[in-house]
Each structure stands twice: as structure tokens, then as C-alpha cells.
Structure 1
Amino acid sequence: MSGPSTASDLPITDHRQLAQVLASGEKPRSDWRIGTEHEKFGFRLADLRPPEFDGERGIEALLTGLTRFGWQPVQEGGRTIALLRDAASVTLEPAGQLELSGAPLENIHQTCKEVGDHLREVREVADELGLGFLGMGFQPKWRREDMPWMPKGRYRIMREYMPKVGTLGLDMMTRTCTVQVNLDYASEADMVKKFRVSLALQPIATALFADSPFTEGKPNGYLSYRSHIWTDTDAGRTGMLDFVFEDGFGYERYVDYLLDVPMYFSYRDGIYHDASGKSFRDFLRGKLDVLPGALPTLRDWNDHMTTAFPEVRLKKFLEMRGADGGPWSRLCALSAFWVGLLYDDAALDAAWDLVKDFSMAERHALRDGVPRQALKLPFRNGTARDLAREAVKIAVAGLQRRAVRNSQGVDESRFLDPLIEIAESGKTPAERKLELFNGEWHGSVDPLFCEFAY
């Protein structure tokens, strides 16, 4: 989740300013970049419990330790709650899940190096503190009440609001981890096409990356329980956004959607003002009762854009939000998958041809079915696996045409190898873990924390 925006404090005086924020993200192809974000669960090596924020071996101590690598601390209320270095950041999810928000980079080779460097830095400090980190979509062992809470103002507001709008929102906050990639667009028309393709194929990414089959030490009946969590978090800010496929969709229509997403807060003078459930439209009229007479600023609008949680999110770029967290190789693979599909014109056309005749009912059937069945979900005359194999094939070709090579002459398509294996075998990471659970792990999830730690 994002921290406070660094946008302007200039008041919004014209509705058109809101769409202009989205339009300002347009970039020529030469300036398109790749921003990869991933979250991971921390655990204490001694007892596998999630670490608290405080203490000599807590999350704040880990953040402080990372400053040896040139990270600059960000404080809230006198406590270090994030780190900045160049154009990247390290932030905390509500229960201390550690997130790297990577810098905007030119290619997947750079992305993978960035992720690898970060994991090595975290490992060095974590080893000294007796901590480990695990990449999965859902906390496999501990209960909601076992999870700590980080001292961030926006999380206090969300913690109180979530139970009013869904039964699983607190699990989303405290027990999920994801990997996502943020990608650019050249124009409004380019944004629309990429949005439609990525939204239609987001369930396929969910299926390929499914890795959350356990809850509190037992199989939960899902392959991506993290994805299921979003179906009962807050219907007012989640989902498949059917209007994206309607004629006339563009920046203005997305702004209208965001204006109907209930607010969480307004961040003013270092204070989070609780506006949970209230209307940004009222804020635009100076009628927000928690800030009487105040008008929203561009900072408020940028903050508000981060509180919508659809499967694909539009800010000044497009965010692909459908994948469970996982190991280093799949963190790189997600970026490779979407770059291959969306940053090559022929691939984008082929991907659109793959999905353009999906009905709304079919898109929802995919979204609703893959959390349980992943690649085995029936679809038309085949399964989701058939779509996955075709989508991966298109992505491979897109990356090969990009022809961005490393010093050994290898192009970016190599990073799709983990997805090729999953699509060809039809067996997701979750299913492999379930086999281990029912076999050599003898019904325990504890070996996860050793065998699959970073």
C-alpha cells in the first residue's frame, strides 16, 4: 500500500484537473519504464512468528539496519516506517510485510538485478536479527490475531473501517502478499487498449502465480486464497471494472469511478484525518464534514487514487495487481509476462485478439473461478490453462521482438521460463506445496519457512 502522496498542495478548482492527472502519465515509447513491487512475510527464525515493529529484533530495527546500504529513513511520529533510495522505496504493509517499490527501469534485466540486490540486503540484515522472509500470497500459519500492526496512521483508519464493508478486509491487510508491475502508456487510446487486455487476462496471471493454499496451517480449499480475499474486502473499491470495456471509456470515465470510491482519509500537516466512507464529491464542494470548508488538493487526489483496489489500477501508469507473492524467479517473471504482452505492438494486438470477444459473464467466471481451480478452471471448450499457454507464448514473442539483451546476449524472454514450466505442466506453485504438505512434510506447513524462504 502507498504512503502519503508527494503531489502538489494546490487546491483542485476544476473537475478537469482530475483527468489531467491521468493524462499527465502519457509518455513516448522511448520513455516507457517498468516498475516492479513485491511484498514478503517476515518471520522469526526461532519460532516462525511474525516480528513486531518494536524491539532489538523488530521490523524497525530491520529498516534501520538497511540504511547501511544507502537507504534514507522516512519517519512518522518519530518512528522509521519506510526507506528511500534514488527512485525506489521500502515500505511496510499493515502487519509488517516488507515491500520493495522498485525504481522505474528500462528492462527486465535491470528489474531482476534490483530485486536480487534488495533480497541480498534484506538477508544480510535479517540474518543478524534472527529473521527470515517468505514469498507467498497468504500467511500459511498464523491467525489474524497473531499478526502485529505497524504504527501508520492510514492503517489505523483502515483497520477500523474494513469490518464495516466486508469480512476479509483485515486479512487482506495483515495476511496477504503480492507482486505487481507498473507499466506506461503513450496516449488515452493506448491506455484503454492495455487496460482492457490486462483486465481480461488478470485472472490468467492469478492462475499462473497461484501460491496461497494454506490458512492457519491447513489447506484452505483454494490455490490463490489471496485472490479470493479480495472478493469480500470492500465491493466499493475492488473488482473487474466492467465499464472499462464499454464504448467511450477513457480518463474521464475512470475519474467518475474514483469519485464514487468511498474515501479513507485526508493527510494534512502530518495528520491523517479520518474520512472513511465519505464522498470525494462532497470534498470537491467543500462539504467534507471532517474538514469543513476545505477543498481537496492534488495531493488528496493522488492519495485517493491509491485507495481503489481493482484488479488493474490506473494512476499515472497501469498497475497489474493479480498475482500472489513468490520467489525471486517469479517476481521477475511477472514483469516479463506483462511487458511481453503490453510493450510490443504485435503482442498487444495478439493479446487483444485472444480476449476481445470475452463476454462480461466469461470475464467474471474467470475471475471468480481461478482462486479455487487456477489453471484447471473450465473455460469454453478447454481450460484456463489453454489461455495461459497462449498468453505466455504471446509474451515470449513480444520479448523476443524487443530484443533487449544482457551482457551474455540473452534476451528478456528467459525470465518467462518459470511460467512456461507452470503452463506446460498445468501444476501451480500452490499445488506443488500441497503435494509436499500431504507427503514429505507430513501435514505441517513449518517446512515452508525453511525450504521456500528467500
Structure 2
Amino acid sequence: MITSKEKIIEHFKSGIKEIKDLKIGIEHEKFLFNNKDNKRIDYTKIKEMFSALQEFGWKAVVEKGNIIGLNNAGKNISLEPGNQIELSGDKLNHIHEACAESQDYLFELRQVTKKLDINIVSAGFDPISKLDEIPNNPKQRYKLMTKEMPLDGELSLDMMYRTCGTQLNLDYESEKDFIKKFKVANSIVPISIALFANSSIIEKQNSNYLSYRSKVWQNTSRGGLPKLFFEELDFEKYADFVMNFPLLFIQDKENYISGNQYTFKHFMEGKIIEIGNRLPKENDLSSHLSTIFTENRLKKYIEIRSMDTCGWECLCAGPAFFTGMLYGNLDEIYELISKWDKNKIINAYLEAPQKGFNTQLMGKDLLYWASKLLDLSRKGLEKRDIINKSGKNETIFLNHLQEVIDNKTTNADHMINKFSKNEDLSELYDK
């Protein structure tokens, strides 16, 4: 039972790994559209798709008789509120492995989507659909979230139904190591938003944002970038944050109950009448941690969540960028960001979705900082020096980002240029 702050701290401490055991986990979401009418696929089509994927060894995950996902060894495919699908990859040793995993998944996905006449869109925000056009699915928690989330964030439903992101999960080797990594991850969020911007088209029009997804997440219930995250945030301080954070829902067997009038502390004190005043278990804590929608968050590892989904050609670039910094060159990056003013970081965070590289931070634009961080990341990956079968190290995955910086042109800029010429929807689909 989780009955004290110490139990939450223990949960975080149990994530500590030896340096040789530090892993990388990538999660990425995709939009799926029917080719014949350019509409998002419905749950009936999802079931067909999941059935076809089972031919590749995936096993069904079922909730109340409905298939809501797939798993295969350490990998999972989950269903998002608007029938976006997300691959949560296995915990792997390096970017070569993680990228190979994504390529295998792409191969399987392409076989199935071609067979079912489905198009994939790799963007941070749905470029075509209006919110009321998007079908839902029977996954239990989403019904409650659809009702509760808009109460505290005006774009919460857009977040649920119209966004896709790429997420990286990284380990820590000590509490001190976590403190450094978490501070770095939060300080560079504005740069991450600008560098990985890929959500410029909304409802078939230029949104005037480069990362509209980031704008949405800034206006989502339970999201954002708390000032607390720029402190030397240890496990105890994060535990305090978690305890005083409102519950989104409480799982009672297969049912989900609204928790919006309670904090996790109320749960720990046995004050939730609706579930018979029972105390939280480890899975209740895990569920609560996964409904804190900040730009980065702590579970038994650090989740980095500030990247728009991008196409398959750049999918490995984000994970490589952060791995080089946080696993390969942490001290140098930490020394750099320690000089930054948190209020200026937050201001840059609020401006970056629209201004992109032109956003100012500490007297320089974000293009300058992106270039600087890319060099430091490359240095970190060179230091790791993990070689593939062709004798190349992980720096090969940074080539896409070097091109973005050299040309001062993001994925979002490319999409605006391509789509604006003829407004052809086929330009939005993965090739």
C-alpha cells in the first residue's frame, strides 16, 4: 500500500539503474485515415487492423470484451482517444536497436495499412479533421476523460483527439543524476519544441503556428511546465508534487471513477468514499503518475514529451539528440543551462510554438541554442561510441537535425511549403 510519502520516494528509487543498465525507450503516435474519404478511421477499422497485425505475432489486449491494444514481448501498441495508435517500444540499449525496432514496426504497419486502404499521417496535430468529425472508441478511461479534461484546460479535447507526439524514456543512475537530467530536460523544452515542430496545418489551413501541438498542450488540463521543475527537484520534492496533484480518475476493478475533487494525498489517507475508503496500491500510483501531463515527468524513469511526431526518416533523430545530451554529455549541458533564468525559459516556452527558431532565450535565438545543443549531443554520442554493423556510431541519427539547422527549415516549414502550393491532401500522408 502507498500510505506515506516515503513509499512514493521508494517507488522512484526503485528506478535507479547501474550505468551499464541504462536503457532507451521510444514511444510514437500516428494518425490513421481512410484513403477513400480522407476521414479518420473508426473503431471497426481499428479492430480489422489489430486483427491483421496479430499475424505478425502481436497478442490482443482486451478490456470489457473490447480489443484496446496489442503486445509482443516488450512492445505495446495502444489505442489513443481518437483512434491514433501508439507504439511503446521495448527498453533497449542504444539508438541503433531502438531505430531498428521502429523500422520493423513500420514494415508491419505498412503491410496492414496498404491491405486495408489506410493512410498514415506523421504530424503533431491532425491536419485535416475538425474535432467533431473524429470517431471515438470503447476504451473505458477515455469516456471519463472526455467529460472531465475540458473543465481545466480549454484545448484538452484537441490534445486527446487531435495530437500525436514522440516520447523518449530514459533512466537515471542515482537521485543526483535524476536531478541533473530532469533540470536539463525541462530547461531545453523551448528548443525541443522549435527543433521538432511538425504541426503547422490545421483543418487544411495554415495554423500560423509551427507546433500547434505544443500550443494545445500548454492549454491542456494537468499539462504545462511548472516553475517547480526548474529547481533542484529531488525525489522528495517530486513526491510532494505528486501527492498534492489532483486525481484524474480512480480505477475500481474495470470501472473508472472521477477523482477531480480529490488529491493523491486524500487517497493515501483513505478519504475516498466512492471506493470504500480503500488505500492506493502501486498500480494506483503508477496510474496517477501517467495522468500528470507535464512536458516531462517522472515514473521509474524520466519521460521526455516535448516533441511533435515526425516522419519515419526523422523518427530516430529526437531520441538520438536527447540520448547524446543526457547519457553522453550531461555535465557539460547541465553547466550550460544552469546559467539560464527560469522566467526566460518559461517565456520562450510560451512563444516557441508560434515563433519557432525566432524565439529569444537568454539573448540568443533558439536556432543558436539548437545548434549549440546539437554539437554537444554529437559530442556525447561520439563519447558513447556505440557502433552498428556498418561501423557507424549513433551520430548518424543526428543528420536530419543538422539539415534542419543548416537550412533553418523545420518539418513544419516543409509542410507549409508543400501543402500551400496546391492544397493536395496527399501531401500530408506518409509516402
> How would you bin the TM-score normalised by the shorter chain?
over 0.9
Q: Does 1:119 align with 2:98?
A: no
Relative distance call for 1:282 and 1:353 in structure 2 (3 A) is same
What is the CA–CA distance in structure 2 between the aligned matches of 1:406 and 1:316, rounded to whole Å?
Answer: 29
Equivalent residue letter for 1:188:
E
| Cα drift, residue 230 of structure 1 | 1.2
What is the CA–CA distance in structure 1 between the aligned matches of 2:351 and 2:370, rounded to whole Å?
Answer: 14
What is the CA–CA distance in structure 2 between the aligned matches of 1:191 and 1:228, rounded to whole Å?
Answer: 27
Q: Does 1:28 align with 2:28?
A: no
**Residue of structure 1 aligned with 2:47, choices 42, 55, 60:** 60
**Residue of structure 1 aligned with 2:209, choices 222, 233, 246:** 222
Aligned residue number for residue 17 of structure 1: 7
Equivalent residue letter for 2:400:
P
Aligned residue number for residue 231 of structure 2: 246
What is the CA–CA distance in structure 1 between the aligned matches of 2:417 and 2:279, rounded to whole Å?
Answer: 56
What is the CA–CA distance in structure 2 between the aligned matches of 1:259 and 1:378, rounded to whole Å?
Answer: 35
Aligned residue number for residue 301 of structure 1: 285
The answer (yes or no) to whether the contact 1:264–1:274 under 8 Å persists in 2 is: yes
What is the CA–CA distance in structure 2 between the aligned matches of 1:332 and 1:42, rounded to whole Å?
Answer: 21
What is the CA–CA distance in structure 1 between the aligned matches of 2:394 and 2:194, rounded to whole Å?
Answer: 22
Aligned residue number for residue 310 of structure 2: 326
Relative distance call for 1:223 and 1:252 in structure 2 (3 A) is same
Relative distance call for 1:271 and 1:194 in structure 2 (3 A) is same
The answer (yes or no) to whether the contact 1:137–1:225 under 8 Å persists in 2 is: yes
The answer (yes or no) to whether the contact 1:264–1:276 under 8 Å persists in 2 is: yes
What secondary structure does 1:290 align onto? helix
Aligned residue number for residue 399 of structure 2: 417
**Residue of structure 1 aligned with 2:251, choices 248, 267, 272:** 267
What is the CA–CA distance in structure 2 between the aligned matches of 1:273 and 1:365, rounded to whole Å?
Answer: 36
The answer (yes or no) to whether the contact 1:218–1:445 under 8 Å persists in 2 is: no
What secondary structure does 1:194 align onto? helix
Q: How many residues align?
A: 431
The answer (yes or no) to whether the contact 2:341–2:362 under 8 Å persists in 1 is: no
The TM-score with structure 1 as length reference comes to: 0.93
What is the CA–CA distance in structure 1 between the aligned matches of 2:230 and 2:306, rounded to whole Å?
Answer: 18
> Equivalent pairs: percent with the same residue?
34
Aligned Cα root-mean-square deviation (Å): 1.3
Q: Does 1:426 align with 2:398?
A: no
In the TM superposition, 1:81-92 aligns within 5 A as 81-92=68-79
The answer (yes or no) to whether the contact 2:248–2:260 under 8 Å persists in 1 is: yes
Can you list the C-alpha shifts for 1:219-258, whole angstroms capped at 9, x where unaligned?
Answer: 1110000000012111xx22223223335x3111111111
What secondary structure does 2:166 align onto? strand
In the TM superposition, 1:3-402 aligns within 5 A as 11-54=1-44, 58-234=45-221, 237-247=222-232, 249-344=233-328, 347-402=329-384
What secondary structure does 1:447 align onto? helix
Moved more, 264-273 or 135-144: 264-273
Equivalent residue letter for 2:425:
D
What secondary structure does 1:405 align onto? coil
The TM-score with structure 2 as length reference comes to: 0.97
What secondary structure does 2:425 align onto? coil
What is the CA–CA distance in structure 1 between the aligned matches of 2:302 and 2:5, rounded to whole Å?
Answer: 22
Equivalent residue letter for 2:155:
L
| Cα drift, residue 273 of structure 1 | 2.4
Equivalent residue letter for 1:51:
I
| Cα drift, residue 277 of structure 1 | 4.2
Aligned residue number for residue 8 of structure 1: none
What is the CA–CA distance in structure 2 between the aligned matches of 1:381 and 1:266, rounded to whole Å?
Answer: 45
What is the CA–CA distance in structure 2 between the aligned matches of 1:380 and 1:320, rounded to whole Å?
Answer: 23
What is the CA–CA distance in structure 1 between the aligned matches of 2:300 and 2:25, rounded to whole Å?
Answer: 12
What is the CA–CA distance in structure 2 between the aligned matches of 1:28 and 1:163, rounded to whole Å?
Answer: 41
Equivalent residue letter for 1:43:
F
Equivalent residue letter for 2:314:
R
What is the CA–CA distance in structure 1 between the aligned matches of 2:331 and 2:302, rounded to whole Å?
Answer: 18
Equivalent residue letter for 2:304:
M
What is the CA–CA distance in structure 2 between the aligned matches of 1:200 and 1:25, rounded to whole Å?
Answer: 23
Equivalent residue letter for 1:215:
I
What secondary structure does 1:343 align onto? helix
| Cα drift, residue 100 of structure 1 | 0.2
What secondary structure does 2:119 align onto? strand
What is the CA–CA distance in structure 2 between the aligned matches of 1:30 and 1:180, rounded to whole Å?
Answer: 22
Equivalent residue letter for 1:437:
F
Can you list the C-alpha shifts for 1:190-246, whole angstroms capped at 9, x where unaligned?
Answer: 000000011101221111110101111111110000000012111xx2222322333
Please, which runs of 5 or more residues in structure 2 have no aligned partner? none
| Cα drift, residue 276 of structure 1 | 3.2
What is the CA–CA distance in structure 2 between the aligned matches of 1:369 and 1:268, rounded to whole Å?
Answer: 41
The answer (yes or no) to whether the contact 1:48–1:449 under 8 Å persists in 2 is: no
Equivalent residue letter for 1:82:
G
What secondary structure does 1:82 align onto? strand
What secondary structure does 2:356 align onto? helix
